[in-house]
Every structure is written in C-alpha cells, then in structure tokens.
Amino acid sequence: MAQGLDLQGRHALVTGGGRGIGAAIARQLLDAGASVTLVGRDGAALDAAAGALASHVVAGAALGIAPADITDVDAVAGAFAAATSARGPVTVLVNNAGQAVSAPFGKTDLALWQRMLDVNLTGTFVCTQAALPAMLDAGWGRIVNVASTAGLTGYGYVSAYCAAKHGVIGLTRALALELAAKGITVNAVCPGYTETDIVRDAVANIVAKTGRTQAEARAELSARNPQKRLVQPEEVADAVAWLCRPAASAMTGQALPVAGGEVMAG
C-alpha cells in the first residue's frame, strides 16, 4: 500500500461533515484513501461539501452523504444503513457534530441545557452505538470524538456546553477501556477556539452584547490561546486523521488538546 493511503479499504463516517472542522477531517481521510460518508442535518451543505471534496477521492474509494439529525435514533440508524449499503461497513467514526450556545447559568433554562446535552453528548452516544457492531465484527475500528477544551477545563457562560463536553471525555475514556482488547480505539480531540461557525457566532454574540468591534471580539477569543491566534480547522483535522490511522493503534482513551498550549493534558 502506498505511503499515505493507509486507510484504503476503510469506510469513515463523519458527523457534522458539511463544513468547518468536519469537512477538513473528511478531506484528510479521503487523502488517506478512505471512503467517506458525510452526515449532518443540512442536506444542501452536505451536497456542497461533497462537491468540493470530490477531487480528493482516490481510486477504489467513494464519497457520499447521509442527511440525518444525530439526536434522532431512527434517523441515525437509517443513515448508517444507507452508508453501509453504498460504501461498506463503517469502521472509522468521527463524532464531530456539535453546537455551542452561551448564557449565564441563571439564564440557562432546561431547554437550553437539554439541547446542549442532546447535540454534543447524546448524539455522540447514538452514533457510536450505531457504529460499534460493524467494528466488533471486523475486529478493528477507530472512534474519534471531537470534544473541546471545554471538556477539559471550565469556561464562564457556557455551563451546559462544558458539562456536555466533559461528558464526551468521560464517555471516551470509559468506552476505550471496554474496547481496548477488541482492536478498537476511542479517543477525543479537544480544539480550543477554532475558525468555525461556532466561533463566528461567539464573535457576533460578543459584539451584540458588549458593543465591541468584530476585531476586538476575535482578539478576546484569540487571547486565550498562548499563540495568540485561532486554531485552524485543518490543524484539528490533522490530529483526528492521525488517530484514525493504523499506526495510532496504541493510542486509546486519550483527550488531545489542539489549542496552542491553552490547556495542557497531564
């Protein structure tokens, strides 16, 4: 097998694959030779991403989409069934879909709390349960959860998001131990503030609530990173793709910060 195509013959499913970090991850996995299915709620965004990624599909691989809400068990089951029928069993799962909404704790109502848990934590649980049978049958698998530095530390005004992402880290560690002897690794990648729609929404929120300029709001978020910049989606995708490779077989149960030194795992 050619160097760099060490995921040839594998089928990867990436949630939240229509834009940002998810699309960057899909590109990396395609470049490594994998077939890829993009999952998300926005079918138009998935179509656009698939079109942009088409040139990265190597010979013998395939790229497709499966629109689904990851919090809906039946929709996820349907997406996995369609993906498997078209491109074979899923043995690489990247749980990337997520959402962040900020609010003071006193104004965090039960609906917002539940929404953050549903999208960020329960969706990861649902997709992982859907993926595991094929991985266990194959005796090989890679599960990478795109969490956040919010899963490793605390941030004010996003208590529900932090709680959900801490839950993702706990799920990652527990499942890694259950599957350690079965050829399946489970890891998390924890980006800091990254150039994505979530950060653009955060900037807009800061501008609206404080009257600061967009440049000032971006500088405030960038200041959390010791490198004084926003992380780029491609940098997160590099870490995810490495964890999916056969060479990372000894890496499991880990939560890797990609945050310019903001959070140091120990």
Which residue has tokens 């934590």? 121
CB 96 within 8 A of CB 25: yes
Please give the angle made by the CA atoms of 146, 151 and 156, to the nearest 5 degrees: 125
161 is catalytic: yes
Give the span between the Cα atoms of 11 and 62, in whole angstroms.
9
Give the span between the Cα atoms of 208 and 198, in whole angstroms.
15
Q: Give the end-to-end CA distance of the chain in Å, rounded to a whole number.
A: 36
User: Which of 155, 157, 161, 193 does the annotation list as catalytic?
Assistant: 161
CB 191 within 8 A of CB 259: yes
Give the span between the Cα atoms of 27 and 30, in whole angstroms.
5
Residues 6+ apart with CB under 8 A from 253: 172, 173, 176, 177, 180, 186, 187
Known catalytic residues? Answer: 161
